């Protein structure tokens, strides 16, 4: 064998040995570790200290504290002194510093053993309130530490450790203090403390008239049936009302929300003075919304601030957010101009001004500075592939200020004085970077954390993002994961993974393009894995999402077929071996691809 061939042979041996040494992503690891040890690392319990330009995170069970301006760092070993106090009170020691939350510059709050505690650095450990071990839906008021919770379908309130039953279920299908309307319209809980903590608003839902529907529980042998009450089209729906409990008098009243009983009471918000409650009331057809104001003292209807209608749907998902320092001005989110935006209103119902504008929908409202002069929010852009963050002045006509120039996903934490942000950034090739920057000069960015590649020991499939064209000319985002050790001269089977429905986006400019690790396991097994976000998916604006209205299964299938045509056109795809896996139920009603 000549020398060049000997060198080539040796290199091939080393390459084969290297590939054989690379561990494979098992399906078990992909599922069980995909959001833990195989996910990008992060700073644990990262938070700003209220009223300061200082932030903390946890390393080795200690708080690492950083001052933003100087970037001076010190370490707070909180647990030894805290647990000395706990031992003296007969309390179980606190094991993890990650459970500590700053409430002000010197005070930390945490839950342990069904109790809520506060700890003043170098000072007292106080037992603020508690709830029974069997309690669910626990909801604390931030300032008073009053607590509410449910046991079965009964609602309780605990004030200074004394429990009071607020409302007891009258029978099957009647519940109190839990989320309602099948957790649509942004609903995720059923209790709402007033700003002062004196009053508690709560949902009462009567679904005793709703048809019971069988759900099979498949993880038992034999399979069991669980009955749920499901108001499918053409049948009775549940009736919801909103109660108000006064912790001082022990009295309860119900808001006079009136008829029809089959309406949706969504997006509950108290006015800052405790006197009124705002409810986004939606008809059962979900095409007409009234933002209504009710008197919290006697339950009477005061007025409708404004209405929104559509020939498709209206979907309020965010309650009114009142500006700090004002009893009247609030932010409302709406898709009325085709994209979700922020609108500044007063309680008179007058629109003061629109804060965010344009074809990039707001995807997250972070909140206000402590003085109420500014707010922070996130938008979807780059055809929904990226997320960028902005700050905006509440009053005046100054344009919103961008805080995150680089394409990718940005998610921020801001200091409540509005001077600094921590930007948690990722894109297709960046697992995670956390950057610190001043709001006045966001381009002056300093990396404070950079996550290593959690897949460094593996050989995942090559991830490609691409754009395809729908039948109507719309650009669609797609992701193609190629088989490991891809060879262009070979042919590979392909799996199409889909959802293609409202509130879901599967392809984005995030780590590995948001592909799941099980897809890379399949890539190791020799499959190409393809996903396309078609009409109906989220963060592209109202027209794109509502295009499926009363036509479920039409545009979605057409878009998926556009993706399949792309796959079939690739020389390396075996068009006789295409599989489909996903959650778009309309696809189950159509012929095979």
- Higher local confidence (pLDDT), 195 or 593: 195
Question: To the nearest whole number, what is the mean pLDDT of the chain?
Answer: 93
Residues 6+ apart with CB under 8 A from 494: 527, 528, 529, 530, 567, 573, 574, 577, 578, 579
Domain containing 527: what range? 458-589
Angle (nearest 5°) at CA 389 between 388 and 394: 140
Domain boundary among 130, 146, 177: 130
Residue 222's pLDDT is 87
Q: Do 235 and 147 share a structural domain?
A: yes
Domain boundary among 288, 319, 350: 319
Task: Identify the CATH number of the domain in which residue 513 sits.
Answer: 3.40.50.1820
* pLDDT bucket at 21, cuts 50 / 70 / 90: low
Q: Do 139 and 149 share a structural domain?
A: yes
Q: Does pTM surpass 0.85?
A: yes
With 80 as the cut, is the pLDDT of residue 538 above it? yes
* pLDDT bucket at 19, cuts 50 / 70 / 90: very low
Q: Do 195 and 166 share a structural domain?
A: yes
Taking CA atoms, 135 is separated from 7, 109, 113, 143, 158, in Å, by 70, 20, 12, 21, 12
Residue 204's pLDDT is 98
With 60 as the cut, is the pLDDT of residue 13 above it? no
φ, ψ for residue 317 (rounded to 5)?
-130, -5
Average the pLDDT over 396-413 and give the result.
Answer: 96
Question: Tokens 């301006």 identify what position?
Answer: 69
243 assigned to some structural domain: yes
Q: Do 147 and 119 share a structural domain?
A: no
With 80 as the cut, is the pLDDT of residue 526 above it? yes
Residue 337's pLDDT is 96
Q: Do 114 and 173 share a structural domain?
A: no
With 80 as the cut, is the pLDDT of residue 365 above it? yes
Can you give the three-state secondary structure of 156-169, one letter per residue? EEEECCEEEEEECC
Q: Do 151 and 77 share a structural domain?
A: no
Q: Do 226 and 211 share a structural domain?
A: yes
* pLDDT bucket at 8, cuts 50 / 70 / 90: very low
With 90 as the cut, is the pLDDT of residue 341 above it? yes
Most confident of 92-96, 302-306, 548-552: 302-306
Q: Do 113 and 151 share a structural domain?
A: no
With 80 as the cut, is the pLDDT of residue 328 above it? yes
Domain count across the chain: 3
Residue 314's pLDDT is 98
245 assigned to some structural domain: yes
Question: Among the listed ranges 21-35, 105-119, 353-367, which one has the minimum average pLDDT value?
Answer: 21-35
Domain boundary among 319, 341, 374: 319
* pLDDT bucket at 356, cuts 50 / 70 / 90: very high
342 assigned to some structural domain: no
Residue 584's pLDDT is 56
* pLDDT bucket at 7, cuts 50 / 70 / 90: very low
441 assigned to some structural domain: no
Average the pLDDT over 294-300 and give the result.
Answer: 98
CA distance 185 to 291: 14
264 assigned to some structural domain: yes
* pLDDT bucket at 492, cuts 50 / 70 / 90: very high
Q: Do 265 and 145 share a structural domain?
A: yes
Taking CA atoms, 75 is separated from 60, 62, 281, 440, in Å, by 10, 7, 50, 28
407 assigned to some structural domain: no
Q: Do 101 and 61 share a structural domain?
A: yes
Average the pLDDT over 54-63 and give the result.
Answer: 98
Q: Do 197 and 60 share a structural domain?
A: no
344 assigned to some structural domain: no
345 assigned to some structural domain: no
Task: Identify the CATH number of the domain in which residue 252 sits.
Answer: 2.140.10.30
Average the pLDDT over 243-255 and give the result.
Answer: 98
φ, ψ for residue 15 (rounded to 5)?
-65, -45
In this predicted model, what pLDDT tens digit does every residue of 412-421 receive, in sequence order?
Answer: 999 999 999 9
Helix, strand or coil for residue 20? helix
Q: Do 125 and 138 share a structural domain?
A: no
């Amino acid at each position: 064998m000549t020398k060049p061939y000997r060198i080539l042979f040796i290199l091939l041996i080393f390459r084969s040995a290297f590939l054989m040494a690379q561990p494979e992503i098992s399906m078990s690891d992909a599922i069980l570790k995909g959001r833990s040890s195989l996910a990008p690392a992060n700073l644990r319990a990262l938070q700003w200290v209220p009223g300061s330009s200082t932030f903390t995170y946890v390393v080795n069970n200690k708080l690492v504290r950083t001052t933003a301006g100087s970037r001076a760092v010190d370490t707070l070993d909180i647990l030894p002194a805290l647990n000395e106090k706990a031992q003296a009170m007969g309390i179980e020691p606190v094991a993890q510093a990650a459970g500590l939350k700053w409430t002000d510059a010197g005070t930390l709050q945490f839950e342990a053993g069904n109790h809520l505690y506060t700890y003043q650095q170098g000072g007292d450990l106080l037992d603020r309130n508690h709830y029974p071990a069997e309690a669910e839906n626990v909801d604390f008021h931030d300032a008073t530490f009053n607590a509410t919770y449910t046991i079965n379908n009964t609602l309780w309130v605990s004030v200074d450790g004394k429990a009071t039953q607020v409302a007891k279920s009258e029978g099957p299908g009647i519940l109190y203090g839990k989320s309602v309307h099948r957790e649509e319209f942004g609903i995720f809980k059923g209790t709402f403390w007033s700003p002062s903590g004196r009053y508690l608003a709560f949902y009462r839902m009567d679904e005793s008239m709703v048809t019971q529907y069988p759900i099979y529980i498949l993880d038992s042998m034999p399979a069991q049936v669980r009955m749920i009450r499901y108001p499918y089209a053409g049948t009775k729906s549940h009736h919801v009302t909103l109660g108000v409990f006064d912790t001082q008098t022990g009295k309860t009243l119900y808001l006079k929300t009136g008829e029809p009983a089959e309406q949706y009471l969504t997006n509950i918000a108290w006015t800052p003075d405790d006197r009124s409650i705002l409810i986004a009331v939606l008809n059962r057809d979900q095409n007409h919304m009234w933002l209504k104001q009710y008197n919290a003292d006697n339950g009477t209807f005061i007025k409708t601030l404004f209405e929104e209608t559509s020939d498709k749907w209206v979907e309020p998902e965010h309650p009114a957010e009142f500006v700090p320092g004002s009893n009247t001005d609030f932010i409302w989110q709406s898709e009325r101009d085709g994209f979700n935006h922020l609108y500044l209103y007063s309680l008179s119902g007058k629109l003061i001004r629109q804060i965010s504008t344009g074809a990039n929908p707001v995807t997250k409202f972070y909140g206000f500075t402590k003085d109420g002069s500014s707010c922070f929010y996130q938008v979807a852009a780059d055809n929904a592939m990226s997320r960028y963050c902005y700050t905006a002045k509440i009053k005046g006509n100054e344009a919103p200020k961008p805080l995150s120039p680089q394409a990718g996903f940005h998610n921020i934490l801001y200091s409540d004085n509005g001077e600094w942000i921590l930007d948690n950034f990722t894109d297709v090739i960046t697992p995670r970077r956390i950057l610190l920057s001043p709001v006045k000069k966001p381009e002056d960015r300093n990396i404070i954390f950079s996550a290593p590649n959690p897949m460094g020991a593996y050989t995942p499939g090559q991830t490609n993002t691409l754009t395809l064209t729908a039948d109507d000319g719309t650009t669609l985002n797609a992701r193609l994961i190629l088989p490991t050790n891809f060879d262009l001269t070979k042919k590979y089977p392909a799996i199409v993974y889909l959802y293609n429905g409202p509130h879901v986006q599967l392809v984005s400019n995030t780590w590995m393009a948001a592909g799941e690790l099980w897809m890379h396991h399949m890539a190791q097994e020799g499959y190409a894995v393809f996903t396309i976000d078609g009409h109906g998916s989220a963060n592209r604006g109202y027209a794109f999402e509502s295009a499926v209205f009363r036509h479920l299964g039409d545009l979605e299938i057409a878009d998926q077929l556009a993706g399949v045509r792309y796959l079939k056109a690739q020389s390396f795809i075996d068009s006789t071996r295409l599989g489909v896996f996903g959650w778009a139920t309309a696809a189950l009603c159509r012929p095979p691809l």
